Structure 1
Amino acid sequence: MATERYQLAEVLAVAKIHPFYNPDFVYPADTETIQRLRESIDKNAKPALQEQPFLNKKTLYKVIERLIHDMDPLNTYRRSSYMSITGGGSGGVPMMFAVDVQENRRQRAQMGNFIKLCGVIEPGDWVLSTHLAGGFYRSLDLTTEIMENAGATVLSAGSYMLPTDVAKYLADYHVNVLTGEGSQVVQIVHHISMLSQDYRDRITLEKIIYTSEPLTSPQRVFIQTILSGVKIFSVVGSSEAGPWGISSPDLTGEQSLTGNSTDFVFDTRSILIEIISPSSLDGTSQPLNPILPGEPGLVVQTSLQRLRNPLIRYNTGDIGSVHPLPETASAVIPKADREHLRVLRMHGRDHRFSFKWYGSYFEFEKIGTLLQAEECGILQWQIILDRLETTPQSTLEIRLLKRPQGGVISDDDLKHRIEAFFLVLPENEHLARIVFVDDLEGFERSVTARKVIKFVDRWNH
């Protein structure tokens, strides 16, 4: 399969006539228009990426919501598209980001080649994937195809297979690679830890490849204690950009896996990463405070794999810093490819806007809208991220103080509404708790002003 990437000039040219970036255009261009545009581009002209305004999630959501519901035959957004869903973790209707089906297949092939190039998958690897499928989420088929493109043999277990069965098939089929969302991986390893030593000896996992949510240092230590000698890798991506980076101890060293940050290797032929100061996002099109090389700031992405619906200077909401590929990577990466690779040191989400629990992001603005609705009757609320004592999994606690006369809806109805918002499901309900308190003393308070702390993060500290 062809693994074509686009030139920056092509992506910028299409953006000029795309409703993501230009409100004068109602619909994205059709295939014929895009092809004529590509043929007319001056190949010698230097692309002016810095002149392109930043793209934020609010703008993207607004335009996509309109395009999704517009049934006009001229609306190309609804044509021949791979629909990638995101945003369900913040309530309301999730965002359906449309990717041209052929672009999606090429990107899966490119990512498979990249995983192979970085030595994450080798000939003879058997991979068992426990990723989610259903509810419009397609992480299972995405991961399966990428791993197959990298040369692996894949067993698609899916998220509904019980840890008991996963452990059995890991042993029965001599699987050496386990991949899944971070919480799934921890849950399965925790189950393995409770098996008899004879049974555990039949499981010969050599690699863990996690996605969707970061593993903390205690989680990594726990996994490597139970699965002695296992290597921990990660693949990073998003609905908007698709899969684009790899975390590998063989490329960046084990030290990058022990702190609160994770190093991801990416290919500048596929994606461009800019690091900008948060203060730059003040409505202007130019960064006011450029970040020095190696300094952390907001991660802004430009994809060279998305053309029909371009992704240019997109503010991801993540905090990170860009670094050169370390010399240790030369033992794995061929010289011809090394000059194109960089390292993004991901420090996590910009907690001014959102936080992550059980693989989903939740925006504080939408949480406030939910909990401050008049019919809920909530006077004060607090969210606490913590961890279990028995296994390194993150917990979510929502504390609520209702007005004396109560709200229009009952406590049970309120609880169900909140559980639906935070995607509390049978598989994670033991990690979530809703608590009704009697007064302000039931909340975590600041030491100085004794103010109620809206978001208490014990998980990342």
Structure 2
Amino acid sequence: YMALFVLEQDQFGGGQLEIIQLSDILQSLSIQTREKLSNEKFRINIPLEFRKSNELDHINAPILLDHDKIRYRSDILSEQNHEELNELNLTIQQVKKYQPELNKYTMIILNNQKYLHGRTKILDHRRHLLRVRFNRTCPYDVHSIYEKEKLFPEYLTFSNDFYDYLQNQHESLQEILSLIVQQYDQPTSLGEEIRQTFRFNSKIDQIIKQLNVYRPNYQMNSYRPDLMFSQGNLFKINGKYSFQPKICEINARFPFNGYFLSAALCSTDCHNRYSRKSSRIIETMIQASKFDLTKRMFIVKSKEHGYDIHLFQQYWTKKSSEQCLIIHPNDLKIENNQLINQQTNFIIEQFILELHQDEILNLSNEVLEYFIRNNEINYINDLRTIFILHDKRLFSLLSNQPFLYSLLNNNQQETISQIIPKTFVINKLSNYLKDSIVHNKQDWCIKPNSGGKGENITIGVDVTSDEWSKQLLDSTHEQWIVQEYFGYVQYKSMNLCGMLLCFNKHCFNMGAIRMAPNKIVNISRGGHYILPFVHQQYIHCMNDKSILTKEKLHEQLLELKTTDKYWNQSVYLSSSGGSGGKRLFFATDIQENLRQRQILVNMMLDKDIISDRDICLNLFQYGNIYRSFEIFNDFCSMANCTTLPMGADASNEDILEMVEYFKPNVLMGSPYRLMQLALYLEKQEKNDIKFEKIYFACESLDKIKQDYFKRIFHCSIYIGFYGSAETGVYACQSSKYSSTKIYLYPKELVQIEIVNSKIIVTNLIRKRNQLVRFDSGDLGRIVSTNENSKYGLIEVFCSERLILIGDDDLSKSHIEETMKQTDVTEWQLIIDYVSSRKTNQILLLFRYVKSDTNMSNETLENILKSYLQKFFANQLTNLSEELTLQFEPIEFDQLVRNKTSNKLLKIIDRRF
């Protein structure tokens, strides 16, 4: 399908859309022409805008498909003087054309294979139509093979460091594996060590040696290292489950297993870094294998049921004009120096091997010789890959440091040794090492050297000492391996196993992750699978893992607009209130934003902070992309409690009317707006207004306001909420911590660090625009709790330093502490330079609203000066050249407020 959306129509009558039904064309074409257009292949050039590869600029295909669909554009056909094409073009000119009227902002959707469309000459250069090409459906049904119910709906998130780490590991691994295969037949000590490690029988040995002679340009084709998420501290899953990856084995027999699954499921999210590579897995493998879509494809298989190979068959059937046939290995024969399927007598030019090693060895010598010597035949996997890379004895070489040293430089050796578990072939164990393994079975497992699906694996920790010794000393197990065993990192009580998808030099990184409650992780044995996530392009963090400041974040937000064309699509936009400096706009995924709020509400319900019995009066600010009002409405809806959404701009008279009518028990708003309401109620002598709880945010609620609210609202429980536009609201107080600075936060939502008393926040649930190690601008400490608790406690002290004079600094906490020494209703500090010419002299202007006290302005100001002195080593009178103090008594409505949030700006720094 395609769609045309009219942004601006041609005002002069040109650019008229014309549509022709294919059915009208077919009725007018001769039978002979229809047959030729259906069966004959034409060279069709691929328009530049639709090319996915520089290597593919055309296809050879019929014009008519299935006799009732068409693929036709006269300008991209190479053959112009063709009898059938001439008849088709003449028919197109003669049949009836439909001219739908498309006005501005209308859309038409067409089946591009059932209709031909064109337009008349454009007369108005302002005409603008948007053409939409719908994404094609996946050419195979992944859930026809893999049960949809086994797919977990969420992601496992990983860092970009982990993604890059696997890419680097693949580079080293690919080089080592290639060298091992190439060195196998060499008359060197290295070649001898490789041969002695594998000890293949004479038939396999000769196959590998002959392939190195007749096919010297070895291509590994498909190989899939399995990744075990073992216990360690190298990386994290979802920001909290620490792990170290280990490659425990390599799957190289069945070339597509896991690839189609990952290509289908990991390629659907444009914000997921895995999607970019996953979307090209299958096409890349087919192109790299040099398979010809215009020729028949064969799959040679017998006893293996298979998974993804059936998806390959679906794919080929839809992508190619030729068949994809499954044949039994016994049906292969050589005739006239050609490989033939003796059931159909079809010539086989390309095929997929889906055979076990013993099935390959049971092929006739004539067929095997043909595989080895005939370079015209095209197949995967290479037999060397199947016999060497799939053999677990390979790991005794990969974990052998002296061996690696002779293959690679020292840096690469160290790189690969980090991810490979120590492995030994049992018959090469020294007596000392064998004895150690017998007595430390908990650290080891025994595996057959070939095979797969976890068959016949013995894990030391799961068996008795007698059984372990029996397995290790069994004479039939001499060619098996003993490998280091590591405990799994679990997710939802399940063990995890990833797969590194590789093909030749291509690494598609990690595919779908398998999950199972058993130590042998296998979907065929009842396991599940889950998808990995790494943000595609943009994570708000520092590349060197240092702390992200608000200033740096602001730079990144501006850069994001130029690097990500989707930055403002499908997002929830939050605006900072402006108290931290420049106004910021932060984008989060809409669903992730709702999930964050739900997690916080779940905690509030769990801790009796809110209940479905509450009736909440919402007086928070809204408008101009400021979200406080909306946030608290959402909290109430998610908690299934009633909200009265009045907003900060509602008149006090209307608010009083709602209070008297609905009798709300929870009052919500900024301390400033609540103070306005309290002053009004006191003036109206309304002494019967009572609230059980007050929810506040945006500003702190000091002791003076708390006492005042207790008198006016008859309320003594004050629940503060904590967060920012960047992090979202992620913490709140409970009744237990009312009137303190201690907040509860869900550990599944955020990770809190304290670095030099700074509160550093990492949001754990965001996948789009992740926020990592963000400096919130406040100081605090972690309050010790039970490690197994779902919730953490953080005490918030104050914000950062405001001014620095010599060796002395003045922070927001110093100012707040100073202002508590006087009985003022509200205060505000303006920091500026004395003049634009004297930027070395700082002005501190204290503006204050006096309470009902008889204290004179002079006395009040002297108290403030005296208390400020304690924060300076030098006398304030001696700092007159650097610091000027001024005081200004004002009325409550003269306080400067942010125009967006209506938030009281306690400290206004005009120097920047």
Q: Report deviation, 1:272.
A: 0.7
Is residue 313 of structure 1 aligned with residue 773 of structure 2? Answer: yes
Contact kept? 2:783, 2:793, Cα under 8 Å: yes
Match of residue 549, structure 2, among 45, 48, 56: 56
Query: Are 2:157 and 2:767, in contact at CA under 8 Å, matched by a contact in 1?
Result: no
* Contact 1:15–1:310 under 8 Å retained in 2: no
Tell me how many residue pairs correspond in the alignment.
Answer: 341
Structure 2 counterpart of 1:82: 572
User: CA–CA distance in 1 between the matches of 2:728 and 2:681?
Assistant: 31
Are residues 32 and 191 of structure 1, via their aligned partners in 2, closer, same or farther at CA, if it must alter by over 3 Å? same
Which position in structure 2 is the counterpart of 1:179?
668
Letter of the 1:58 counterpart: E
How does 1:54-203 map onto structure 2 within 5 Å? Answer: 54-68=547-561, 70=562, 75-86=565-576, 88-89=578-579, 94-196=583-685, 199-201=686-688, 203=689
Once the 2 structures are TM-superposed, how far is the Cα of residue 62 of structure 1 from its aligned partner? 0.8
Question: Residue 298 of structure 1 aligns to which amino acid in structure 2?
Answer: K
In 2, distance between residues paired with 1:161 and 1:131?
10
1:33 aligns with 2:273: yes
8 Å Cα contact 2:620/2:647 also seen in 1: yes
Aligned with 2:714 (options 212, 228, 236): 228
Once the two structures are TM-superposed, the CA of residue 135 in structure 1 deviates from its matched residue by: 1.6
**Residues 269 and 91 of structure 1: is their aligned pair in 2 closer, same or farther, counting only changes over 3 Å?**
closer
Residue 272 of structure 1 contacts residue 304 of structure 1 at CA under 8 Å; is this kept in 2? yes
Aligned residues of 1:5 and 1:305 also touching (Cα < 8 A) = no
Map of 2:851 onto structure 1: 390
Cα distance in structure 2, aligned partners of 1:141 and 1:272: 25
The 10-residue stretch of structure 1 (5-14 or 159-168) with the greater mean CA deviation from structure 2: 5-14
Counterpart of 1:77 in 2: which secondary structure? coil
The SS at the match of 1:318 is strand
Tell me the CA shift for residue 30 of structure 1.
2.6
Return the alpha-carbon distance in structure 1 between the equivalents of residues 634 and 672 of structure 2: 22
| Separation in structure 1 between the aligned mates of residue 666 and residue 620 of structure 2, nearest angstrom | 13
- Give the Å deviation of 1:153: 0.7
Matched residue SS, 2:603:
helix
2:545 maps to amino acid: Q
Kept in 2: contact 1:128–1:155 (CA 8 A)? yes
Task: In structure 2, give the amino acid aligned to 1:171.
Answer: E
Query: Deviation at 1:60?
Result: 0.9
CA distance in 2, matches of 1:263, 1:225: 24
Superposed CA deviations along residues 388-446 of structure 1, whole A, max 9, x for unmatched, are: 22389xxxxxxxxxxxxxxxxxxxxxxxxxxxxxxxxxxxxxxxxxxxxxxxxxxxx92
1:211 corresponds in structure 2 to: 697
Structure-2 separation of matches of 1:454 and 1:77: 45
Which residue identity does 1:348 align to in structure 2? C
Contact 2:609 2:735 in 1 (8 A): no
**2:800 aligned to which of 347, 350, 354:** 350
Normalised by the length of structure 1, the TM-score is 0.63
CA apart distance, 1:455? 7.8
Report the AA paired with residue 388 of structure 1: V
Q: Which whole-Å CA distance do the structure 1 matches of 2:722 and 2:886 have between them?
A: 26
Contact 1:9 1:41 in 2 (8 A): no
Correspondence for 1:395: none
Are the equivalent residues in 2 in contact too, given 1:301–1:315 (CA < 8 A)? yes
* Secondary structure of the corresponding residue to residue 147 of structure 1: helix
Residues 106 and 388 (structure 1 numbering): CA distance in 2 closer, same or farther, change over 3 Å? same
Instruction: Provide the rounded CA distance (Å) in 2 between the counterparts of 1:228 and 1:324.
Output: 33
Please report how far the alpha carbon of residue 270 of structure 1 lies from its aligned counterpart in structure 2 after TM superposition.
Answer: 0.8
Alpha-carbon shift at residue 274 of structure 1 (Å): 0.6
1:16-70 deviation per Cα after TM superposition (whole angstroms, max 9, x unaligned) = 9xxxxxxxxxxxx9335356688568999xxxx99722111121101211323x3
What residue identity is the alignment partner of 2:568? R
Which of 761, 765, 772 pairs up with 1:301? 761
> In the alignment, is the contact (CA less than 8 A) between 1:446 and 1:452 conserved in 2?
no
Q: Give the CA deviation at 1:9.
A: 3.6
Which amino acid is 2:692 matched to?
Answer: E
Distance change in 2, residues 1:229/1:38 (3 Å):
farther
- Give the counterpart letter for 1:52 in structure 2: K
Q: CA 1:215–1:7 in structure 2 vs 1: closer, same or farther (change >3 Å)?
A: farther
2-structure distance, mates of 1:225, 1:129 = 20
After superposition, give the CA deviation of every residue in 1:223-249 in whole Å (9 maximum; x if it has no partner): 112222441111111111101001123
1: CA distance, partners of 2:670 / 2:161: 34
How far apart in 1 are the matches of 2:852 and 2:588?
38
Is 1:339–2:339 an aligned residue pair? Answer: no
Could you say if the C-alpha distance between residues 12 and 65 of structure 1 is closer, same or farther in structure 2, counting changes exceeding 3 Å? same
* C-alpha distance 373-11 of structure 1, shift in aligned 2 (>3 A): farther
1:193–1:226 CA contact under 8 A, matched in 2: yes
| CA spacing shift, 1:11–1:269, aligned 2, 3 Å | farther
1:249 aligns with 2:731: no
Q: Which has the larger radius of gyration?
A: 2
Alignment match, 2:879: 449
Aligned mates of 2:644, 2:748 — CA distance in 1? 31
Q: Distance in 1 between matches of 2:155 and 2:883?
A: 46
8 Å Cα contact 2:690/2:715 also seen in 1: no
Q: Is the 8 A contact 1:302 1:311 kept in 2?
A: yes
Partner Cα separation in structure 2 for residue 112 and residue 456 of structure 1: 45
Q: Retained in 2: the 8 A contact 1:319–1:346?
A: yes
| Identical residues among aligned pairs (%) | 20
Alignment partners' CA distance in 1, 2:876 and 2:548: 35
| Cα pair 1:386 1:457 within 8 Å, conserved | yes
> How far 1:211 sits from its partner (Å)?
0.5
TM-aligned CA distance change 1:150 to 1:39, over 3 Å: farther
The amino acid of 2:595's aligned partner reads: R
Q: 1:324 aligns with which of 762, 766, 784?
A: 784
Q: How far 1:222 moved relative to its partner?
A: 1.4
The one-character-per-residue Cα deviations of 1:245-285 (angstroms, maximum 9, x if unpaired) are 011232x3x5xx26xxx1111111111111111xxxxxxxx
Distance (Å, rounded) in 2 between the aligned partners of 1:454 and 1:41: 64
- How far residue 363 of structure 1 moved from its aligned partner, in angstroms, is 11
Offset at residue 80 of structure 1 (A):
0.9
Mean CA deviation greater in 134-143 or 379-388: 379-388
Query: For the structure 1 residues 386 and 320, does the alpha-carbon distance in structure 2 shift closer, same or farther, using more than 3 Å as the test?
Result: farther
Q: Which runs of 5+ in 1 are unaligned?
A: 17-28, 278-296, 327-336, 393-444
With over 3 angstroms needed to count, the CA separation of the structure-2 counterparts of 1:32 and 1:378, relative to structure 1, is closer
Q: Do residues 276 (structure 1) and 771 (structure 2) align? A: no
Give the letter for the 2:694 counterpart. I
Residue 88 of structure 1 aligns to a residue whose secondary structure is coil
Amino acid at match of 2:668: T
Distance 1:116 1:363, change over 3 A: farther
Do 2:572 and 2:589's aligned partners in 1 also have CA atoms closer than 8 Å?
yes
Structure 1 residue 381 displacement after superposition = 5.3
CA distance in 1, matches of 2:597, 2:719: 18
C-alpha distance in 2 between matches for 1:209 and 1:344: 18
The 1:153/1:273 distance shift into structure 2, 3 A limit, reads: same
Q: Is 1:115–1:121's contact at 8 Å kept on the other side of the alignment? A: yes
SS at match of 1:183: helix
- Offset of 1:123 from its aligned partner? 1.9
